[in-house]
Amino acid sequence: MTDRMKINKVAVLGSGVMGAQIAAHFANAGVHVLVFDLDQKIVDEGIAKSLKLKPDPYYDRDVVNKITTLNYSAHLERLGECDWIIEAIAEKLELKVDLYNRIIPHIKKNTILTSNTSGISISQLIKEMDKEISKRFFITHFFNPPRYMKLVEIVSSNITDLNHLKFLKDFIENKLGKGTVDAKDTPNFIANRIGVYGMMLTINEALNSNISIEDVDAVTGTLIGRPKSATFRTADIVGLDTMTYVAKTAYDKCVDDSERDIFKNPKFLDRMIKNGWLGQKTKQGFYKKSDEGIIQSIDFDTLEYKNVNKKRYESIRVARENIKFEDRIKVLAYFDDKISSFFWSIISKTLLYTSHCADSISDNIVSIDRAMRWGFGWELGPFEIWDIIGLEKSVKKMKTSGIKLPSWIDKMLESSNFSFYKIINKNTHYWCFKKNRYKPILQDDKNLTFNFYKKQNNLINKHWSASMIDLDDGILGVELHSVLKAELNPIDGSIIETLMNSLNWVKNNKYKGIVISGDGINFSAGANLNLILNAICKKDWDGIDMLIKSMQNALQNLRFIDFPIVSAPYGLVLGGGYETIGATDKIIAAAESYIGLVEVGVGLIPGAGGNLRMISNLTNKIKSIVPGSFSICQNAFETIGFAKVATSSNRAMKMGYLREHDRIVINRMHLLSEAKKEVISMSLDYKPPKNEMFKLPGSSGRLVLEGTLKGFVKSGKISEHDAKIGKKLAYVLTGGSKGGPFSPVDEKYLLDIEREAFLSLCGEQKTKERIEYMLRNGKPLRN
């Protein structure tokens, strides 16, 4: 890497589906981006369209001011300002080559040029390109939607300048927060080759074994650690035309592929495409919503839509008894009923196909697993899944249907090596198919995980839902890992107890401070509602009061202890999850954090300091000189009252969930190392915060809020019960009976009235109904 390499400005060529969203993500990262298209109308419309897309490609609407829209006829010379130019135009070799010829005279020395092609070979793209430029040309294949998918496949040629390549990979990882994977120059590269094979195979097998669309999706989604959209809904989202286009590329170009026929469309799929039933974008595909709003799925034979009707299968029932998806996969792989046989068929064939392709698409199995995790949202890649179902055991079962293993797996087994990954001397190793031996996965100091430290024997104490782990350098880690719902981490007694124990442990062992985080998908989706509902049913009001009080006390202890505590949230950070991080000195949040105080949705208000934190944060943010400023209170009232969830950490900063001194980290994998660094630096001259006093608007402000509530009820915007909750919330936020512009209240008072309000709402029948509904349906009831 040379000192001169830097990326201040980027150009994106093309403002279609990918171009506009890639530009949006540069803007998210704070990078100035020039977007070009054929004419000004097209490019302006392209960006305007991206502002309406769901899921939102932007962290926050304001970032769009980093994007400048331009066209090739009038503005080509502005390419000279750019350090990286990424082409994302239509997938046609001649068009891409023509455009390169047109732009190359305008780019400056050292500018990197890359293509977002999904499957065109780099050797063809650079065939007639100037040698000097082609050294700085490679493929950077982003996945759709680029804000959310972590994967960027990198395909280089044998003349690519390695300094430029390394520099750009670092930029993509550190500044854009993505994960890069090196792929070989083969059709569809890694993720689409394996992923689309898996989808086409699943469609074929479903057809052969006469399994309905909804039943296939039931067994190929979250049950086995894949996205909720599973197979057919994913195809509808991607678009049947796009999916089959990628499949056709493999069919046309992988002529020696023994599984080539799988990439051919079954007849019914051709008919659907001919009818224009392309999925979500045409409002019907494998699924459609009937006029009455009922979800229907298509019948492969008749092409008629019927209401979805999931069958009950014993294997799925047994699999569901397991909390971890890894255990569910094991159940399904070796069960004996119709759906598990189907599952076995798709999983075993996908694993075999991947192992046969491996050497031709990648240098190692680690890249293949990462590509599938980061590009297709699988929790585990194919070789990791294979380890779960057991290589030796599964091969025995596969051999009953006369399969052939690739020679590198034969060699593995001959040398009595039965797993693709293995921990040797505390480090994870993978099986190298080139050398036929295990090789270590190099540990990047930025990509720390609790799991890494556990492998180093650093576990201090494992409780049900949280663990204490030594993160070295005098830092203690508290890892959240709920025993009941690992993917949501509801705050329970075990988490609170571990947090309390960790405070003592740090004191006794003279450590520097604590990091609170986790390795999973979500930091915490809130309190354990089951626990609260149980107590409500038993009318155990003292029990609820104690529960809330112990959480308030624990979090206040955390806040005022004399060493630094940093929380590192990611994914969902709701209710009690937010109250936990809100009490810490500093929040180092993943950019993709969805933070919100959502208690109103279940008929409650925040009970463990949420209101207090919001008032405190907004007081510091708005910095009004008027005592008891109403706007602070009103702001908090609207955010909590409407259970507003920030759709990114940038938004959370604006809404007051995050504070000015908190920090956003774009790469989720860097979160733990950044949080650890922060504790080390804060510990040098740490002073705990002081107990705050708040001047709040008091009864006059409360009257205004109550008036607003009445108006909302009248206009049908909220229900009577919403108004009742709103009134309690207004009482707390305006300072209860003691608070006013000239009678400040302290933290303890606010916590007491918040707890009282919480408790009284627990006694409401409609609140009970809201909690029950949420637990049953996973969404709020507005009663």
| Region near ligand NAD per CB under 6 A, out of 91-99, 251-259, 314-322, 656-664 | 91-99
Among the listed residues 5, 7, 38, 53, the single contact to ligand NAD using CB under 6 A: 38
CB-nearer residue toward ligand NAD: 115 or 297:
115
Q: How far is CA 407 from CA 2, 184, 386, 486, in A?
A: 42, 20, 17, 38
Listed residue (204, 197, 201) closest to 267, CA to CA: 204
| Region near ligand NAD per CB under 6 A, out of 10-18, 339-347, 457-465, 569-577 | 10-18
CB-nearer residue toward ligand NAD: 234 or 348:
234
Is residue 173 a contact residue for ligand NAD (CB under 6 A)? no
Is residue 296 a contact residue for ligand NAD (CB under 6 A)? no
In the complex, minimum distance from the CB of residue 220 to ligand NAD, in angstroms, rounded to a whole number: 20
Q: How far apart are CA 766 and CA 152, in angstroms?
A: 48
Among the listed residues 50, 116, 502, 617, the single contact to ligand NAD using CB under 6 A: 116
| 392 membership: H or E segment, kind and range | helix 391-399
CB-nearer residue toward ligand NAD: 69 or 284:
69
Site for ligand NAD in 142-171 (CB under 6 A): 142, 144
Q: Where do runs of H (alpha helix) occur along 623-737?
A: 630-641, 649-655, 671-683, 698-714, 720-733
Is residue 493 a contact residue for ligand NAD (CB under 6 A)? no
CA 736, 741, 747, 749 dihedral sign is negative
Taking the CA atoms of the chain, what radius of gyration do you get in angstroms?
28
| Region near ligand NAD per CB under 6 A, out of 12-20, 131-139, 307-315, 621-629 | 12-20
| Region near ligand NAD per CB under 6 A, out of 89-97, 218-226, 515-523, 557-565 | 89-97
Cis, peptide link before residue 689, omega less than 30° from 0? no
Angle between helix 720-733 and helix 610-622 axes, rounded to 10 deg? 60
| 128 membership: H or E segment, kind and range | none
In the complex, minimum distance from the CB of residue 380 to ligand NAD, in angstroms, rounded to a whole number: 23
In the complex, minimum distance from the CB of residue 32 to ligand NAD, in angstroms, rounded to a whole number: 20
Backbone angles phi, psi at 418, to 5 degrees: -115, 15
Is residue 265 a contact residue for ligand NAD (CB under 6 A)? no
Is residue 40 a contact residue for ligand NAD (CB under 6 A)? no
- Six-digit token pair at 296? 């229907």
| 153 membership: H or E segment, kind and range | strand 151-155
Half-sphere exposure of 38 (CA within 13 A, CB side): 7
Backbone angles phi, psi at 216, to 5 degrees: -60, -45
Q: How far apart are CA 304 and CA 659, in angstroms?
A: 54
Is residue 684 a contact residue for ligand NAD (CB under 6 A)? no
Measured at the CA of 780, the angle between CA 778 and CA 783, to 5 degrees, comes to 140
Among the listed residues 34, 88, 206, 679, the single contact to ligand NAD using CB under 6 A: 88
| Region near ligand NAD per CB under 6 A, out of 141-149, 340-348, 493-501, 593-601 | 141-149
In the complex, minimum distance from the CB of residue 117 to ligand NAD, in angstroms, rounded to a whole number: 4
The residues, any chain, with a CB within 8 Å of residue 345's CB and separated by 6 or more, are: 205, 209
Among the listed residues 63, 99, 152, 480, the single contact to ligand NAD using CB under 6 A: 99
| Region near ligand NAD per CB under 6 A, out of 35-43, 210-218, 566-574, 656-664 | 35-43
Binding residues for ligand NAD, total number by CB under 6 A: 23
Is residue 94 a contact residue for ligand NAD (CB under 6 A)? no
Q: How far is CA 322 from CA 266, 462, 692, in A?
A: 35, 20, 46
Contact 34, 82 (CB under 8 A): yes
The residues, any chain, with a CB within 8 Å of residue 113's CB and separated by 6 or more, are: 84, 85, 87, 100, 104, 107, 133, 136, 137
CB-nearer residue toward ligand NAD: 153 or 592:
153
CB-nearer residue toward ligand NAD: 249 or 629:
249
Is residue 212 a contact residue for ligand NAD (CB under 6 A)? no
Is residue 428 a contact residue for ligand NAD (CB under 6 A)? no
Q: Which amino acid is at 644?
A: K
| 466 membership: H or E segment, kind and range | strand 466-470
In the complex, minimum distance from the CB of residue 18 to ligand NAD, in angstroms, rounded to a whole number: 3
| Region near ligand NAD per CB under 6 A, out of 114-122, 263-271, 444-452, 453-461 | 114-122
Q: Which residue has the tokens 């046969």?
A: 356
Q: Spell out the SS3 assignment of 18-58.
A: HHHHHHHHHHHCCCEEEEEECCHHHHHHHHHHHCCCCCCCC
| Region near ligand NAD per CB under 6 A, out of 138-146, 171-179, 348-356, 609-617 | 138-146
CA 198, 202, 204, 209 dihedral sign is positive
Is residue 16 a contact residue for ligand NAD (CB under 6 A)? yes
Query: What counts of helices (H) and strands (E) characterise the chain?
Result: 32, 25
Q: Name the residue with the smallest CB distance to ligand NAD.
A: 16
Is residue 89 a contact residue for ligand NAD (CB under 6 A)? yes
Is residue 188 a contact residue for ligand NAD (CB under 6 A)? no
Residues pairing with 77 in the sheet: none
Among the listed residues 117, 249, 296, 634, the single contact to ligand NAD using CB under 6 A: 117
Is residue 240 a contact residue for ligand NAD (CB under 6 A)? no
Is residue 90 a contact residue for ligand NAD (CB under 6 A)? yes
Listed residue (182, 360, 200) closest to 269, CA to CA: 200
| Region near ligand NAD per CB under 6 A, out of 140-148, 345-353, 557-565, 716-724 | 140-148
Among the listed residues 10, 19, 419, 731, the single contact to ligand NAD using CB under 6 A: 19
In the complex, minimum distance from the CB of residue 246 to ligand NAD, in angstroms, rounded to a whole number: 8
- Six-digit token pair at 124? 């063809």
| Region near ligand NAD per CB under 6 A, out of 84-92, 176-184, 569-577, 636-644 | 84-92
Among the listed residues 7, 42, 405, 669, the single contact to ligand NAD using CB under 6 A: 42
Is residue 15 a contact residue for ligand NAD (CB under 6 A)? yes
Among the listed residues 71, 111, 114, 118, the single contact to ligand NAD using CB under 6 A: 118
Is residue 17 a contact residue for ligand NAD (CB under 6 A)? yes
Backbone angles phi, psi at 305, to 5 degrees: -95, 135
Is residue 14 a contact residue for ligand NAD (CB under 6 A)? yes
Burial (0-12, 13-18, 19+ Cβ within 10 Å), 290: exposed
Contact 328, 224 (CB under 8 A): yes
Is residue 236 a contact residue for ligand NAD (CB under 6 A)? no
List of residues contacting ligand NAD (CB under 6 A): 14-19, 37-38, 42, 46, 88-91, 95, 99, 116-118, 141-142, 144, 242
